[in-house]
Structure 1
Amino acid sequence: MLGSDVLLCFIFYSTLLILKMYIIAIFTGQVRLRKRAFANPEDADRHGGVQFCRTDPYVERCRRAHVNDMENILPFLFLGAVYSMTGPSYAVARLHFLVFFLGRVLHSIAYLLALKAPTRSFAYVIAQVPCVSMAIQILMEVASFA
């Protein structure tokens, strides 16, 4: 009922990526609680007082990891969905989705654990390769209609 094998594969990896984003968001909230570093006075007041309405370097690192996910996963969701409609080979499409997923997981791990450079940059680039590839293939597919 959902469609082709490529679309089902895309849905699988997209769902994993969204779950990963939720995990990072929950992790960020837990770090805020542990570090007692809240973004809003009402939250700080509930957990000990307005003096805990402050920033913390590790909370900010977690938050940046989450923002980076949104900046990269949301475009992937569009590109992957449209790419799935272009009739790509299942093996090639699966490779695109898997490489992006693994790149984003490695990127999050590198960000949260502050791994040595260029680990995070490498993961970022690796995850961008399938996105660029999908974008080019989409453009080639629709160029005659523009």
Structure 2
Amino acid sequence: MTLISMDNSIFASYAFYAALVALKLIFMAPLTGYFRMKRLVRGAHLNDLENIPTFWILGFLFVITNPSAGTALMCFRVFAAARILHTIMYLSEIFPIRALCFVTGLLVNLYMGISIVLYLL
């Protein structure tokens, strides 16, 4: 079994959550000009544009390190949930929780990035 194959449960999980956050990003784009809360929607969308591509890159490289399925699935799920909740909190203007969601996603990306670097040492 190759690592980059839908037969690999880790890669399949990555593909699912990468697609989920991609769809979230796509659906947010037209909303930036539609809603009365344009400033909030635009801010949430820009924040996604700053964080989701990093997840795509690090998540893919993380899969190649062949992590345990549980660890990888937890990283992918937590990141996706954090980004979705971040948008909800951003649009609801619940800033302390929004910051917590942002930091959670950031920590997942940091964990994957550090794991990749340590794997390559």
Q: Deviations over 1:108-142 (max 9, x none)?
A: 00111212x31110100111121111111100111
Matched, 1:6 2:20: no
TM-score (normalizing by structure 2) = 0.90
1:65-80 to structure 2, matched below 5 A, reads 65-80=44-59
Residue 88 of structure 2: which of 93, 100, 109 is its match?
Answer: 109
In the alignment, which residue of structure 1 is the partner of 2:69?
A: 90
**Shift in Å, 1:85:** 0.5
3-state SS, counterpart of residue 29 of structure 1: coil
Aligned AA (1:89): S
Residue 128 of structure 1: which of 87, 106, 112 is its match?
Answer: 106
- Using CA pairs below 8 Å that are at least 6 residues apart, which structure has the higher relative contact order? 2
CA distance in 2 between partners of 1:90 and 1:26 (Å):
35
Q: What is the count of residue pairs matched by the alignment?
A: 117
Matched, 1:22 2:1: no
Q: Deviations over 1:18-55 (max 9, x none)?
A: 11111211222322xxx5xxxxxxxxxxxxxxxxxxxx
CA radius of gyration, larger in? 1
CA RMSD after TM alignment = 1.3
Unaligned runs of 5+ in 2: none
Q: Deviations over 1:51-108 (max 9, x none)?
A: xxxxxxx212211111100100000000000000001011110000000001001100
TM-score (normalizing by structure 1) = 0.76
- Give aligned-pair identity as a percent: 32
